[in-house]
A and B are shown apart, each in its own frame.
Chain A
């Protein structure tokens, strides 16, 4: 597959000026230099996107995701580096794709479509489909400034997907629409993927990245830290977040308890690596209390290799009071069956007080491999019985 977007050493420097008027600049001429601070919103980004792939940009607020998208879209000119791309591009940057508030929805559709490179004739041809997709027929002749943010995004998305783009840039907009519309958008993005169009997505929802993207890029303070498959990136991103949380915790207080180890065993206490879906399993969590602890909660979670949460619970949710402890001890969650589809499952354990920040948490502390005889996809191992017959 050939590349469709190529970035080489792209950097973008922002200058922040706190004074915008002539008076301020003249009056505070001395201070003017001090007021001018600059920072790198993007630094040395190299990125290639293969045609037909879907790539997600993840990172914290202010990590440069949206700036990168704008640079790809050509809205911002980078301070250094090269951006190359092929084909027609449609972008949904922040809210709306460039509507003018004083014009009606109808007029904006035509204006916007011509911004994206469609002729008037082509737009007329797509117009009904656009309005239909957006689902705001009643308001199409209302000025856009009276639209709710959801209506705005609906119309913008409808235009962007109907202009036949080769590349679609989507920035966080899906979060604004209501649930049915979000589903509609995701369906359409799936269809685009099937048709071999290229999609670049900025989102805070890691679930969306996992579901829709095949590759992802993790950004932090303008640097591209990691590029890889979406699962790799999601995992790295979660790990990085945990580090931040752990640092915060260390700063606050020395944690009263920590998790020493997590074991997956059979009922006799022998370690387990692979099991069938109907076998009993025990999850034994070793805890060390650095001071006498009372009224605390132990949590357990299972995630699959796609970072999907398969199961989660804790002693509080189960209505159990954990006996007071001091020093090393253990707790155990025993299940009779683990009815999930074949795959690797990771065990995450956490210990925290009834109220307040968690004391300690270990992600993917143990792994258990589930083997089934059936070939199936999804999460739950249902093992259906099958029958057929003529309808009466």
Chain B
């Protein structure tokens, strides 16, 4: 105690008024091991759910801060993509004559794809863009990629409203029979993208090239997914070329399955005039369940990689 307090009689609070921290000593960290700790980490994330909510809000706020149109930009990109592909591919290349309701077809695919790119692109940079927080305060660092997932899902919901508007304008609504594929495909997409995002977020901290690699990779991936063309073209071309098995390889792409499910559920032009299905008519639900299961395993793996890496985040930033 300082002399000042001694002199002025400002003694410390009496013993019974002093606070006492109750509770056991807890380890501040534990060395991450491969086969333990996943559930503990998940529990911790759940404990911090209110913070996660705040981070999602922050993510949405920061993204379009200082921009005049603000949240409206969420819609500009997909709408512009829609316009470009409609004109270039639908009109000039003539796909619009082959694929009925080409605009809605495009948009359903783009809807799923932009959710995917938002999550992957966003979470890759999430640790670095939140360096200020990572270096100063402890929290489960998984929250940053997860907050990107949350914010991207909100953007997705907004874009979904545009799709509803398109139904109203065109006056044709999707058949309700396949609508259940949407939540299933959405779960698959989010599980898969979160797993990838976690790994990329951690990798990008140690090697900044990852974010550029991701940009290039996503471009490649986009064209490997039946969004602006239809899958029947791929199948028939590969069969004509005498390598039908390559189509099975093509269908291993989780995003191809997700996009096909979106098209099957949300695209009213899925049936030809004769009533034959134009959308992918394979066992999509089964495929999605399998991909989800694999993604879940991948998510576990990604979280373990992340947990092992996160101890060094603060020093690498």
**Chain A positions near chain B (C-beta within 8 angstroms):** 3-4, 6, 14, 20-23, 51-52, 70-78, 82-87, 89, 91, 93-94, 96-103, 107, 110-112, 114-116, 119-120, 143, 166, 190, 193-197, 211-212, 214, 377-378
- Known contacts A83-B27, A83-B29, A103-B58; A196 and B132 CB within 8 A of each other: no
CB distance from A127 to the nearest CB of B (A): 15
Complex Cα gap A120–B51 (Å): 10
CB distance from B65 to the nearest CB of A (A): 5
1/0 per residue, CB under 8 A from A, across B15-33: the answer is 0011111011111110100
Whether the pair A6, B58 counts as a contact (CB closer than 8 A) is no
1/0 per residue, CB under 8 A from A, across B176-216: the answer is 00000000000000000000000000000001110000000
Residues of A within 8 A of B17 (CB): 195
Identify A166's interface contact among B19, B54, B130, B139, CB under 8 A. Answer: B19
Whether the pair B26, A84 counts as a contact (CB closer than 8 A) is yes
- Known contacts A196-B13, A377-B6; A111 and B26 CB within 8 A of each other: no
CB distance from A89 to the nearest CB of B (A): 8
- Known contacts A77-B29, A100-B58; A377 and B7 CB within 8 A of each other: yes
Residues of B within 8 A of A111 (CB): 54-55, 58
Whether the pair B3, A195 counts as a contact (CB closer than 8 A) is no
- Closest chain B residue to A101 by CB distance? B132
Complex Cα gap A6–B26 (Å): 10
Residues of A within 8 A of B312 (CB): 77
6 A-B residue pairings within 8 Å (CB atoms) = A22-B209, A52-B18, A77-B31, A85-B25, A98-B137, A102-B66
Whether the pair B19, A196 counts as a contact (CB closer than 8 A) is yes
Q: Which of B47-101 contact A (CB under 8 A)?
A: 50-51, 54-55, 58, 61-62, 65-66
Taking A84-B25, A111-B55, A194-B13 as known contacts, 11 extra A-B pairs with beta carbons closer than 8 A to each other, sorted by chain A number, are: A14-B315, A51-B21, A73-B137, A73-B138, A74-B28, A77-B310, A100-B62, A101-B132, A102-B61, A107-B61, A193-B12
Whether the pair A115, B311 counts as a contact (CB closer than 8 A) is no
Identify A3's interface contact among B23, B25, B29, CB under 8 A. Answer: B25
CB distance from A129 to the nearest CB of B (A): 18
Whether the pair A194, B29 counts as a contact (CB closer than 8 A) is no
Residues of A within 8 A of B20 (CB): 51, 196
Complex Cα gap A116–B10 (Å): 30
Complex Cα gap A240–B234 (Å): 76
- Closest chain B residue to A92 by CB distance? B136
Whether the pair B58, A84 counts as a contact (CB closer than 8 A) is no
- Known contacts A101-B132, A195-B13; A76 and B315 CB within 8 A of each other: yes
CB distance from B135 to the nearest CB of A (A): 6
Q: Which of B157-189 contact A (CB under 8 A)?
A: none
Residues of B within 8 A of A89 (CB): 138
Interface: B305 (CB within 8 A): no
